Structure 1
Amino acid sequence: MHFHSLRKPFGRSWLVPLAFVLSQGIAPAVPAQTAAFTRSLAATASSDQVVADWYRETGYRTLWTGPEDAGRRAAFLAAILSARDHGLPVARYDAAALMARLRAAETEGDRGRIEVEMTQAYLAWARDLTSGALEPRKVDAGIVREIDRIDPKTLLTRIANGNPEAVLRWLEPKSPVYLQLMKAKIGLEAQIAAGGWGAPVAARPLSPGDSGPAVVALRDRLVRMGYLAPTPVASYDRGLQIAVTAFQLAHGLTPDGVANAATLAEINQPPEARLKSVIVAMERERWMDIDRTRKHIWVNLPDFRAKIVDGGKTIFETRVVIGKNVPDQRSPEFSDEMEHMVINPSWGVPRSIIVKEYLPLLQRNPNAVSHLQVIDGRGRVVSRGSVNFAAYSAKTFPFGLRQPPSDGNALGKVKFMFPNPYNIYLHDTPSKSLFDHEVRAYSHGCIRVADPFGLAHELLSWQVDNAEAEFEAALKTGKETVVRLQEHLPVHLVYFTAYPDARGRISYRRDVYGRDAALWEALEAAGVELAGVQG
């Protein structure tokens, strides 16, 4: 029987053949558009302006259900079968559900509806895969990263006019980081299916020389996690100490080889928790539209470190202190460009700190915080004796506060500026002892740098012959000095609790702000599931 012999544009005599043909994944040989099809399509698309405009502007030409669309339809349905591998919400573009509706289609009205549904599924797939399934600011106000969404009309034009397989491959993230995270996701899912990492280590802190069941449990768990080769040794020997140290390095812990409480807490994290971190990291990576081949500064907030990365290699690294884990003081996530540094900076106290912390002190004692100058709206120093601090509220206080350059200046001896709406920058600090802490979340939001002079020397070395001498000369003047960077440097403040190291192995960090937990909840609410994990 030839399908063309079944084609009848009107009446129900062709309905069963239409359903049969669709069930075989082949477009029905019916007119590309009929009045019933067009009415159904237009009505279904009426609540979606983008889709409605597209079909109206293209004369209601089909993308998926016409006789010429079989290749495009098959390519799309095959592509979205990988949604789970990408950690995306399968139900938004469920291939099985779309195929079931295609099989069930009997009328031209049905065909119009499934045409729109497939277009909406394609647009959702393309958006989610290229730039993320979430609107991050709606999940956490501290995620202020600009998400570069591809124009829907561009997506529709490409799939309508291009080779469908090539277009769908073009949508897939190409970042090596993303591919390494996806590989880790698949590996963790296999590990979970095989029974995970065994029982948690129920023990007090363990150290070299210990023995007993707890040490055996620690040994076995590290073997299953891949940090230790299988061994019959039941004591905390040199091999186990090396494995613990390797684990600590991979998890941002003090690498002393001792399984203390903090280390055991991380060792006892189940693979399901790590899988969630990886899936969230994949979502974050989809937001990142950056050129990693270009030299840049990378500050991973949960890692408490800042790096200069050039061509994929770290050429400078230092510890940092980030914002406290309290509202309004958590460091935000965004990208910008470093434009200049300021040697011997003065500190203009942020308005929030002035009214919340210092104004109450000044109202009780006008001579409080004497290291700060009172500044009027034109930047002039105002005598404290001329100000009645008690007359003002947090809303009406008209003055600023500034700390001039000094050894005790809150910004230390140098700050690194990438002007942004959030008043965030990198800077030195007189509070050096905080860099010795494992968890370093103490600032009001800016990034304090443990080795600010090293960072300054590195930046200056790209534009002067003797960077250290140039910096030292400006420092010795004691005067505020602005040094422009001849080449602006991208700065990325990011938040990855799972991220590949130089060898591609995933390192994990603690969710210091709880942002990843919130993102996972949002992804789960959107329909993302842990493959193979029973809820």
Structure 2
Amino acid sequence: MSWFTLLSGLLLVAGLAVRPAMADDQTIGQKPLAPLGTEAAPATAPVAPANVQPQSADKVKASTEDAAAADDPQVTESSPETDKMQSPPPFVPVPPAGGAVGTDRPSSPESGAAAPSSTPASPAATAPATPAQSGSTPKQAGTPAAASVPTPAAPTFADVLHKALDAYGARPIEGRDAAERRKLRADILAFYAARNYAPLWVEDGKPNAAAHSAMDRIAHAGDDGLSLRDMPAPVFVQAEGEPSDNALATAEIDLSARIVAYGRQASGSRLDPRRISALIGAKPEVAAPAQILASVAAAGTNAGPVLEAFNPPQAGYRALREKLAELRRETPPVADGKPIPRGPTLKVGMSDPRVPLIRARFGLDTEPPVASDDLLYDTRVAGAVAEFQKANGLPASGLLTARTIAALSGGQPSRLENELLANMEFWRWMPRDMGSDRVDVNIPDFTVRVIRDNHLIWQNKVIVGKPQTATPVFSNAIRYVIVNPYWNVPASIIRKEMLPHLERDPTYLSSRGFEVFTRHGRLAVRQLPGPRNALGRIKFIFPNDYSVYLHDTPTRGLFASKRRAYSHGCVRVNKPFGFAQALLGPASGWSESRVEHLVGSKQHYIYLQKPMPIHIEYFTAFVDADGRLQLRDDIYRYTHKVELALGLER
């Protein structure tokens, strides 16, 4: 054997002897074994690349010395001298179950891992399970490592808002409409819960663009006659310092509550029409809280206009709103600085102490009247009053009515303002989409209008129900027309009007073209078609719960009256065949003359190609086509009742 071969073998044996020693020391690239019963922190042993050479004896010696130092409990960190020599960073002592401290040194750059940092690692970032987790108690060796306790996360604004909403939902609600208000609150809470309590109006600790726009609209709620006075206003800005999260959460909730209140009031929630009369079948389309909040919040800078749009969209409403603004900007003149007192309605020939004020108002006192005539309401005064009424949209009767006094006085403009507000409320009861083609009947105006493509094409006079047999207020659709109709007399008319006549004259019914028979065991009366038929020659049918309809009448002379409230509830139409032509439309082929040609003794049915919406309305204040405010008598007292219900009467 040559010396070269022998030397190579000795070197090989020496290398094999060194490797087990390094493994036993567990100092290079490996962690100590965890004691039984504990969970060792997961570790990934570095894998040396294939081209890394075996370590020299000097390196093995240095590693062995480091391991010995680690076994010494007094050695816990590297010295500055060692740091200057760019040795590996100090390790973090991990107290095992047996009390000995092992070493966990990162591998050197030569092993292929990332180069170690010169900054010591945080114990919280590198320490394994604490003794509480391992179920064992470490020995006190030197300076023990502090146990890592997780810091609770700071509550988010959604957490704060959640807590504030819980408190909001726990507040007691008592008094009038308590059940309804509790339901609204529950709807708001459910809306926030569905979005995991994410805020609507707060971003980065301040109100967002939607909040500012919505608050601006709410500040002008009075422009639409709405009132949010009883609700707390949101406070997003404090006098000193930034508002706390709790304050912002409270402001968020207050703003949501006011936005919901605005949207619901604007769409008609303040007043159930049935409280005014059982004959008002109009039903406001009140917006739901979720709909209001979602649409307004999504609008951003347009939140205000979106909120305002919950008010009625009809041109008639907007016109009244403009008149209300004009009234609030201007104060009418007062006669001699004195309002005219209330009192009985005056007509020609009556004497009253208010007459001198009226004369002064119209400049009629330039020539002193005879002493005995000083208080006389004569034709000259009545004529001046009639001209004033005509110019101010009042019925030009010449009578000194309560409404005329209010318009003359000017000292109490709230009377007219209240009437405008009440009529704006009537608009909230109407369908938001009334149809571009429709029929409108305004009871206090005694007028019917046919609208096509939102343009007036025909209008005429109507006769409506007496106050004791009022025409109902509702919306429906006309479906067909009957020429030469029978009149099936309502039981109430038979009982109240016909039976007393029959007691005096047994021929009362037969002489007037009525038939008497039984229906389902009850007495029934109907009038045959003809010139004396109470429905005239034609009627217009829109099936409804009130059994009312539009129709002709044989007593046409009543259309000459100004106050045409004579019927039992149905609406009598002047020139009904012209109305039929306008209703059926030019495409139907039914002209006025063609419909009238069907008059006779036999019933004829004409069906509309498409049902025509009909709205029987009640407006005592409206703006005409020339932009003038028109006022009508409150024949059913609905306007007065609405004013009282809204707290407007003063």
CA distance in 2, matches of 1:220, 1:491: 46
- Secondary structure at the residue paired with 1:33? helix
In the other structure, the counterpart of 2:58 is: none
Within 5 Å, give how 1:389-400 maps onto structure 2.
398-400=522-524
Please say if 1:58 is aligned against 2:195.
yes
- Secondary structure at the residue paired with 1:309? strand
544, 552, 569: which one aligns with 1:445: 569
* Aligned amino acid, residue 78 of structure 1: D
In the other structure, the counterpart of 2:15 is: none
CA contact (8 A) 2:440 2:617 kept: yes
- Secondary structure at the residue paired with 1:123? helix
259, 274, 278: which one aligns with 2:420: 278
Q: 1:430 to 1:249 in 2, by over 3 A?
A: farther
In the other structure, the counterpart of 1:140 is: 277
Q: 1:52 to 1:402 in 2, by over 3 A?
A: same
439, 449, 469: which one aligns with 2:593: 469
* Aligned amino acid, residue 70 of structure 1: N
- Secondary structure at the residue paired with 1:454? helix
CA distance in 1, matches of 2:339, 2:189: 55
* Aligned amino acid, residue 345 of structure 1: P
Please say if 1:456 is aligned against 2:580.
yes
Please say if 1:32 is aligned against 2:157.
yes
* Aligned amino acid, residue 593 of structure 2: A
**CA-to-aligned-CA distance 1:115-151 (integer Å, 9 cap, x gap):** 4333222111011123453222223222211222233
Higher relative contact order (CA 8 A, sep 6+): 1
- Secondary structure at the residue paired with 1:133? coil
In the other structure, the counterpart of 2:605 is: 482
CA contact (8 A) 2:312 2:432 kept: no
* Aligned amino acid, residue 98 of structure 1: P
CA distance in 1, matches of 2:501, 2:332: 59
* Aligned amino acid, residue 163 of structure 1: G
In the other structure, the counterpart of 2:624 is: 501
**CA-to-aligned-CA distance 1:488-516 (integer Å, 9 cap, x gap):** 22211111111001022210001111000
In the other structure, the counterpart of 2:531 is: 407
Q: 1:170 to 1:191 in 2, by over 3 A?
A: closer
CA distance in 2, matches of 1:184, 1:64: 34
CA distance in 1, matches of 2:588, 2:311: 42
CA contact (8 A) 1:320 1:447 kept: yes
Q: 1:435 to 1:82 in 2, by over 3 A?
A: same
In the other structure, the counterpart of 2:9 is: none
**CA-to-aligned-CA distance 1:30-75 (integer Å, 9 cap, x gap):** 83123x6423312423643211211221112222355364333322
Please say if 1:339 is aligned against 2:479.
yes
In the other structure, the counterpart of 1:350 is: 490
- Secondary structure at the residue paired with 1:39? helix
448, 463, 466: which one aligns with 1:324: 466
In the other structure, the counterpart of 2:317 is: 178
- Secondary structure at the residue paired with 2:467? coil
The two structures have a TM-score, normalised by structure 1, of 0.74
Please say if 1:517 is aligned against 2:616.
no
Aligned length: 460
Which shows bigger deviation, 357-366 or 487-496? Answer: 357-366
Q: 1:321 to 1:469 in 2, by over 3 A?
A: closer
Q: 1:335 to 1:446 in 2, by over 3 A?
A: same
Q: 1:466 to 1:78 in 2, by over 3 A?
A: closer
Q: Kindly report the root-mean-square deviation, in angstroms, between the aligned alpha carbons of the 2 structures.
A: 4.0
* Aligned amino acid, residue 301 of structure 1: I
In the other structure, the counterpart of 1:116 is: 253
In the other structure, the counterpart of 1:386 is: none
CA distance in 1, matches of 2:259, 2:324: 24
Please say if 1:129 is aligned against 2:266.
yes
CA distance in 1, matches of 2:400, 2:474: 35
CA contact (8 A) 1:41 1:115 kept: no
- Secondary structure at the residue paired with 1:52? helix
Q: 1:473 to 1:175 in 2, by over 3 A?
A: closer
Deviation at 1:398, TM superposition (A): 2.5
In the other structure, the counterpart of 2:553 is: 429
CA distance in 1, matches of 2:533, 2:329: 53
Deviation at 1:313, TM superposition (A): 3.9
Within 5 Å, give how 1:46-125 maps onto structure 2.
47=182, 48-65=185-202, 67=205, 69-93=207-231, 97-99=233-235, 114-125=251-262
CA distance in 2, matches of 1:243, 1:359: 45
CA distance in 2, matches of 1:249, 1:316: 24
- Secondary structure at the residue paired with 1:299? strand
- Secondary structure at the residue paired with 1:479? coil
Q: 1:408 to 1:265 in 2, by over 3 A?
A: farther
In the other structure, the counterpart of 2:330 is: 191
**CA-to-aligned-CA distance 1:271-305 (integer Å, 9 cap, x gap):** 33221111111112233234467132111101111
CA distance in 2, matches of 1:43, 1:51: 13
428, 436, 448: which one aligns with 1:306: 448
* Aligned amino acid, residue 295 of structure 1: D
Q: 1:101 to 1:121 in 2, by over 3 A?
A: farther
Deviation at 1:100, TM superposition (A): 9.0
CA distance in 2, matches of 1:194, 1:59: 58
**Which structure 2 segments of 5+ residues have no match?**
1-153, 171-181, 350-354, 370-377
CA contact (8 A) 2:223 2:325 kept: yes
CA distance in 2, matches of 1:260, 1:43: 58
Which has the larger Rg?
Answer: 2
CA contact (8 A) 1:132 1:287 kept: no
CA distance in 2, matches of 1:264, 1:194: 14
Within 5 Å, give how 1:8-23 maps onto structure 2.
none
CA contact (8 A) 1:142 1:332 kept: yes
- Secondary structure at the residue paired with 2:221? coil
- Secondary structure at the residue paired with 2:217? helix
**Which structure 1 segments of 5+ residues have no match?**
1-28, 222-231, 379-396
Q: 1:155 to 1:164 in 2, by over 3 A?
A: farther
